[in-house]
Structure 1
């Protein structure tokens, strides 16, 4: 998200470097660029106007804080105001009621409601330790009920059965009764969508809401629809007492206008962002962190949380002990590291959260793709157990065999082995406690990942 917006804002900030004071003239020039960037990002016009006015009032004539350049001072102002527009802080689900806490999901067809139901169910189960049941009241879309049944099995939550010929309100009431009998903490109700907002759809979901009185009514919207996302959310908010919004498909949205518009237009908080098809691809929405990512400052807090949640701590501990004992880092260890990186969203996902990445040239960013990482794993899988433990055995003929087995070229195998040797040297330095040498090796390893995009050298 926000690639073009981040690049333009970074360029604007760089122009202000070296000036001792933010004057009305250079602020006006900078804000013109910010306004264009926001409009190109498909942010709703009223939001752009309000945001620019707020930034201007705060920034004009502001003395630059000691040790900060004017560009950095403007970044602070813009970051603060972006955060305010998007909602200041994360708003968690309100589940504080006698079980079951009912969550009603609303939205247009194609927004990703059903998959989001499964993602939310998994999140509540794993992170909040809730006992969750899901039910589908979509009696119109072919296979909608079966889709939710399959997803419920995949994420390990209870599924309340329903059929296409049933009345949606009857289904919902029966599900609430079943959830109460089975002492379920949270019941998530999936509803039917339409291709557009219509009276029949609104009447049905109003009836559902009145029948089950959910504690949370969440509007699921495709972020790639830009300003339309905010307008549709507004229409639903006028018909239903929405408590929050979930933005889906944010991984395919390079502009990000919906995230900046929805809260302002509806007055309802964005509670979650969905990115990708996997069932764990749903994250709580933190406006302050997203504002930092927009401005190229990364999102280190989310990265740390993701590492804690998704990295196999046992494997990490074993590798650390192995290295500190002076044992050799082998191909099995390298494969583990690559797979752990994949679990955290791959290289592209990690780069999005690292500070300064928005300033990288497009030629570098385009090379950072998880296809290369998957290729490396395939090459390692084509090696014998003995070759993984002892990569020195990989002579020319063995490398050719590994390349054929993995569907790659011998040059790919050679590149992987070169990167392995750099990592192995780095681990060796670590075991000897040579921090300076370790940093040099890390820099060399990063440079050597040319096949995977060539991340920028550490400084």
Structure 2
């Protein structure tokens, strides 16, 4: 997300950071570039005009003139105004209600509403430790009811059954009564979507809203629709007392116009970003972190939080103890590391959140996808336990068998074994004095990104 905007703004702001003094004249071109970058990112015109005007006012004002490094202060102003556009802080869900707290989900058909219900249920269950009941009041699409039931089972939350013959209000009230009787903390109500906004749809959801009186009314919108997302959100905001927005498919939106427009146009905060198809691909929206990513400054805090949630601490501790005892880093350990990397969204996801690595992340995206990681895992899984524990016994005939079992070539096996040798050497350095420093040096000596690239900078099959 924001790749195009990050490229343009990074280049533009680089031209101004070295200025000894900022005047209206010498920032005119920079502001023009900023304006064009935002318009190309499909940010709504009123948002762009207000944003540029505020930067101009502050850039030629006292806070810059008194600064020792005006150019850097200009970048800081751009960052703070980006944060202001998207909302000053992360707006958490308000669940401070007599249980069950009711969350109503609204949006157009195809925006990812039903999937977002499941993602939000999983988020509340795992991160907020809430018991959640989900229900579908979409009586127009039997498939939507079945889809939510399937997703509820997948994420391990309870599903309240409904049928197309029922009234949406009766369905929602039935679920709320069930939640009261069985002491659920939260009820999430999925509503019917339409292909476009119409009066019948709006009237129906107004009636439903009045009946259930939700503490949170979230509008689900597709980030890929750009500033249209903000305009659609405005239409729903006029009809319903929205409390926030979930922006879906943000991982596929290279422009980021929706994220920068929604808050300004609707006055409602973006509360979550949908960043993938998996049920755990829902992130709280942090305006300050997003602003840093847009300006190529990375998002280390989100990376740390992601690691804490997704990485297996027990496996990490087990590996550390194993290495301390002098036992080698075998292919079973290597496969564990590949699986951990997949949990973190692969190399490109991690690089995208590291300061100054935005362009490298795009380069990596062009040359690497997650298929090679899957292929490497398949190769190791095609080995016997003794081969994984002792790779030195893997001779020519074994390589042919492994290649056939994993659908790869013998040269792919050779590449993986060579990379494993390099990882083994680095792991030995970790266990010695000054391990981390030596590990980083070892990584620096390897070709490719972060030391995870094999010889020649290619993964098997590339």
**TM-score, length-normalised on structure 2?**
0.94
CA distance in 1, matches of 2:10, 2:417: 37
Q: Which residue of 1 aligns with 2:444?
A: 443
Instruction: Give the match for residue 360 of structure 1.
Output: 360
Q: Residue by residue, what CA displacement relative to the aligned partner does 1:19-49 show, whole Å, maximum 9, x if unpaired? A: 3222322311111111111111110001111
The answer to whether the Cα contact below 8 Å between 1:104 and 1:216 also exists between their aligned partners in 2 is yes
Measured in 2, the distance between the counterparts of 1:410 and 1:22 equals 61
The CA deviation at 1:434 is: 4.1
Q: How does 1:203-282 map to 2 (within 5 A)?
A: 203-282=203-282
Contact kept, 8 Å, 1:366 with 1:453, in 2: the verdict is no
Report what 2:294 is aligned to. Answer: 294
Distance 2:285 2:66 in 1: 31
Corresponding position of 1:8: 8
Contact 2:137 2:191 in 1 (8 A): yes
Distance verdict in 2 for CA 1:158–1:453, change over 3 Å: farther
Q: Using the alignment, how far apart are the partners of 2:203 and 2:186 within structure 1? A: 25
Task: Report the counterpart of residue 160 of structure 1 in structure 2.
Answer: 160
Q: Which residue of 2 aligns with 1:338?
A: 338
Q: Deviations over 1:29-70 (max 9, x none)?
A: 11111111111111000111111111111223624855x582
* Cα contact 1:400–1:410 (8 A) shared by 2: yes
- Change beyond 3 A, Cα 1:434–1:397: farther
Partner of 1:321: 321
Following superposition, the deviation at residue 361 of structure 1 comes to: 8.0
CA distance in 2, matches of 1:46, 1:453: 49
Indicate how the Cα distance of structure 1 residues 265 and 120 shifts in structure 2: closer, same or farther if over 3 A, else same. same
Q: Quote the residue 1:131 is aligned against.
A: 131
Cα 1:405–1:220 change in 2 (3 A) is same
Q: Determine the C-alpha separation between the residues in 2 that align with 1:39 and 1:121.
A: 35
TM superposition shift of 1:317: 0.7
TM-score, normalised relative to structure 1: 0.95
Structure 2 counterpart SS, 1:75: helix
Aligned to 2:120: 120
Cα gap change, 1:230/1:164 in structure 2, threshold over 3 Å: closer, same or farther? Answer: same
In structure 2, runs of 5+ residues without a counterpart are none
Note if 1:200 corresponds to 2:239. Answer: no
1:55 aligns to what? 55
Kept after mapping to 2: 8 A contact 1:379/1:403: yes
CA separation of 1:80 and 1:432: change in aligned 2, threshold 3 A: same
Q: Distance in 1 between matches of 2:456 and 2:251?
A: 19
* Change over 3 Å in CA distance of 1:426–1:446 after alignment to 2: same
Q: How many residues align?
A: 453
Moved more, 387-396 or 195-204: 387-396
**Partner secondary structure for residue 194 of structure 1:** coil
The 3 A distance-change label for structure 1 pair 78 and 442 is same
Distance of 1:452 and 1:44 partners within structure 2: 46
Greater alpha carbon shift after TM alignment, 117-126 vs 352-361: 352-361
Deviation per CA, 1:77-120: give whole Å up to 9, x if none.
Answer: 11111001000100011110101110000000000110100110
- Answer yes or no: is 1:386 the counterpart of 2:381: no
Q: Distance in 2 between matches of 1:134 and 1:389?
A: 45
Note the 1:300-315 alignment, pairs <5 A.
300-315=300-315
Once the two structures are superposed, residues 214-263 of structure 1 have per-residue CA deviations (whole angstroms, 9 ceiling, x without a partner) of: 01100000010101100000000000000000000111111110000000
**Secondary structure in structure 2 of the residue aligned to 1:403:** helix
Aligned-pair CA distance for 1:399: 2.3
The verdict on how the C-alpha distance between 1:250 and 1:411 changes in structure 2, with shifts beyond 3 A counting, is: same
Segment of structure 1 superposing worse, 99-108 or 377-386: 377-386
Separation in 2, partners of 1:428, 1:69: 47
| Offset at residue 397 of structure 1 (A) | 3.0
Alignment partners' CA distance in 2, 1:400 and 1:28? 64
Q: Is the 8 A contact 1:368 1:454 kept in 2?
A: no
Q: CA deviation at 1:377?
A: 0.8
For residues 402 and 365 of structure 1, the distance between their equivalents in structure 2, rounded to whole angstroms, comes to 28
2:219 counterpart SS class: strand
1:451, distance to aligned residue in structure 2 (A): 5.9
Evaluate the alpha carbon distance shift between residue 143 and residue 364 of structure 1 in structure 2; reply closer, same or farther with a 3 A threshold.
Answer: closer
Q: How far is 1:390 from its partner?
A: 1.0
Q: Distance in 1 between matches of 2:454 and 2:267?
A: 46
